[in-house]
Structures are given as structure tokens and as C-alpha cells.
Amino acid sequence: MTSLKDPPRNILVPIDFSESSEKAASAAAALSLKTGATVHLLHTYVIPVESVGLALAVSQQYIVQFVKDSKEQLLALSARHCAGVPLGPVLVESGDPREVIIEKAKELNAELIVMGTHGRRGLSRALMGSVAESVVRTAYCSVLVVR
């Protein structure tokens, strides 16, 4: 782990394709241009198992296509926001975003996670939870939250 004096070498940026996650990608790119850190873009997804009590059958072919499309979207996002920045391979992973982000940060030896937040408050936040808040509480490294 780096100290506050040391610049990060690896920055993980969770992307949900919202405006706030695109702002996070831009912020990570700006940091990378100053420090030379490698930026790793990560998109997580959850396959719904049940909906209204009915099991959904998600074909393997659909999942393969979804992952391919998500990687293409990440590459397009990196072209818009991360030009000239050292990039790791784009990552698309299945699972609870709160857990996947922490696991990938450890695997990549990320010293910093830069992520967006939707800024939900009140009932909306209580019902939907906050991935950013969970990551801030459980990450072993620093987390920069961008609104």
C-alpha cells in the first residue's frame, strides 16, 4: 500500500455507464496523466435469478453477448475519457458490485478506487442502498467518490 506521499500505480474505476461514473473515469484519467498510474475500468452485472416469483432462464449465449457488448461500451468510454492514459484490460464481472469492486481492487493491487455516486438520499437510498458508501466502508485502499 502506498502512503499519502506516493502516487497510486493502479486506479480502479467501477463503471455503471451513468453520468457520474463517466465523471469518475475523467477524474481517474486526470490523476493518471499526472502520476502515470494505470487505470482499470470495471463493469459489474447481476443476473436476476427470480422476478415476481418466476425463475428467469438466461442463456449462456445472452451472457456472452452481454459481456462482449459491455466491453465494447467500456472501450468507447475509455476513448472518450481516458485518451493518453495507461489502461489495463477492461473488466466485466458478474456479482454483487459491492463485493466485486473490493475483490478486483485487491487482485489489481489498486491503491485507489475512483467511483461515481448518484447522490441519492432518504427513502431512495434506504431502498436501493449505496454501492459507493459500502465500498468506502469496506475498501482496504483509498476511495475517491465523484458526484
How is the chain split into domains, by residue range?
A: 10-146
Please check the confidence at residue 140 and state whether its pLDDT lies above 80: yes
Distances from the Cα of 24 to the Cα of 15, 40, 60, 112, angstroms: 8, 12, 31, 12
Least confident of 50-54, 87-91, 114-118, 138-142: 50-54
Please check the confidence at residue 131 and state whether its pLDDT lies above 80: yes
Please check the confidence at residue 122 and state whether its pLDDT lies above 90: no
Q: What percent of the chain has pLDDT over 90?
A: 70
The sign of the CA dihedral 65, 20, 81, 144 is negative
C-alpha triplet 106, 109, 115: angle, nearest 5°: 75
CATH classification (class only), 10-146:
alpha beta
Please check the confidence at residue 125 and state whether its pLDDT lies above 90: no
Please check the confidence at residue 36 and state whether its pLDDT lies above 60: yes
Instruction: Give the whole-angstrom CA distance, residue 57 versus residue 143.
Output: 36
The set of cell numbers assigned to 48 is 436476476
Please check the confidence at residue 48 and state whether its pLDDT lies above 60: yes
Please check the confidence at residue 49 and state whether its pLDDT lies above 70: no
Please check the confidence at residue 126 and state whether its pLDDT lies above 50: no
pLDDT category of residue 147 using cuts at 50, 70 and 90: confident
Average pLDDT over residues 36-52: 83
Least confident of 31-40, 60-69, 70-79, 123-132: 123-132
Distances from the Cα of 77 to the Cα of 40, 72, 114, 125, angstroms: 12, 9, 15, 27
Q: Mind listing the pLDDT tens digit for each residue in 11-30?
A: 999 999 999 999 999 999 99
